[in-house]
Amino acid sequence: MADLSNRDPNKLNSHIEVMFEDVFGEPDGVRSMDCIWKNSYSCFECGKNLCYKIMTTLCGLCIALEWGCEFAMLTFHHVWCWTPCLRDFSITMGCAKKFFQTCLSCCVAPCCEAIGAFFSKVKIEKS
């Protein structure tokens, strides 16, 4: 059930909280008339809230339905396509990994050990 009191419990949209004071501020030394400042605040809040309510009324349900379908399709693809595909790939590559490890152990490891033994005898002196 939707929480009607706390509609952003995970603070997903805290970066777009815009208040009148975040947009308008008169510096010291210049002041509009008090009635203009108060009415500007009222107009800003009314315009912001009214526009948001109109947009959510006209588009909110359709957009929510679209995003619900989008996340359902995403979940469907992960459950029925991507996860089995990745599991198949992991199993297949596990066999290839064992094959290449064996080849490297037989062919490359002896060469590396020989080169390591050769260079272990090198002495560097500072003169």
Q: CB-hemisphere CA count at 13 Å for 41?
A: 12
pLDDT at position 1: 82
Indicate yes or no: pTM above 0.85: no
Helix (H) or strand (E) holding 56: none
Summarised one tens digit per residue, pLDDT across range 36-51 is: 999 999 999 999 999 9
**Phi, psi angles (nearest 5°) of residue 85:** -65, -45
Q: CB-hemisphere CA count at 13 Å for 108?
A: 6
Write out the E strands in 42-106.
Answer: none
User: Residue 42: left if φ>0, alpha if ψ -120 to 50, beta else—which one?
Assistant: alpha
Q: Is the pLDDT of residue 123 over 90?
A: no
